[in-house]
Amino acid sequence: MHVRRVVTKHGSQGAAGFAEDGAVPRTDIFRTVPGLVSRMVWSTSASTTVPFDGTDPTPLVTSFVPKPGETRFLVLTFPPDSVFMSPDFDGPAAMAENLAVSPGLAERFEPDGKHQTPTVDYGIVLDGEIWMELDDGNEARLGQFDTFVQNATRHAWRNKSDRPATIAVVLVGARTADTTD
């Protein structure tokens, strides 16, 4: 799936214009997990201001998990779960690649794929179907155009189908009980 990114700007007289129009520059197609694609479309910091100054913030991101007041906009494609069950699947190599591709997030993954971030995540399924699995076997099937709000809960994404599933999600860094100023 090709994802196009269009970024706007203000011209010298304040008129709206286009700053960028093209592919998402921070796109990672995993070598160790066939069909897994991570795309960081955009990010904001707690000090982001407008108008846009022309500097693409995504290459500067050092953690996929935003701090309070920051955001990350991701488009993720998940292969079917059968890819992870293949006798050829190399879990340690996949984890090493994930650590390189998704710093700050990959470290939070448990062996079963569950993870938890201090974020409120707004998302929509763009294509396919995916299951959000929570604690105690709670799960929900999400199909194309279904939306979700994930409130810093421990979860995993499961693709029980035989084709890829793609979601778009905005992670909003949130304060937690142990967040300090």
Which residues lie below 8 Å from residue 158, measured CB to CB, with a gap of 6+? 81, 113, 130, 131, 132, 133, 139
For 35, left (φ over 0), alpha (ψ -120 to 50), or beta?
Answer: left
Give the bridge partners for 76, in sequence order: 38, 167
What length does the chain have? 181
What per-residue confidence (pLDDT) applies to 40? 98
Q: Please, are residues 175 and 68 in contact by the beta-carbon 8 Å criterion?
A: yes
The pLDDT of residue 1 is: 79
pLDDT score of 35: 97
Can you give the pLDDT at residue 180? 60
Q: Are 106 and 98 contacting, i.e. CB atoms less than 8 angstroms apart?
A: yes
Q: How far is CA 43 from the centre of its chain?
A: 11
| pLDDT at residue number 177 | 84
pLDDT at 179: 63
Which amino acid is it at 165? Answer: A
Neighbours of 31 (CB within 10 A): 11
User: Could you list the pLDDT tens digit for every one of the 181 residues in the chain?
Assistant: 799 999 999 988 889 999 999 999 999 999 999 999 999 999 999 999 998 888 999 999 999 999 999 999 999 999 999 999 999 999 999 999 999 999 999 999 999 999 999 999 999 999 999 999 999 999 999 999 999 999 999 999 999 999 999 999 999 999 988 766 5
pLDDT value for 178 = 78
Q: Give the pTM.
A: 0.94
Q: Are the C-beta atoms of residues 128 and 35 closer than 8 Å to each other?
A: no
Q: How far apart are CA 120 and CA 158, in angstroms?
A: 20
Q: Residue 126 — left, alpha, or beta (φ > 0 → left; ψ -120 to 50 → alpha)?
A: alpha
Amino acid at 5: R
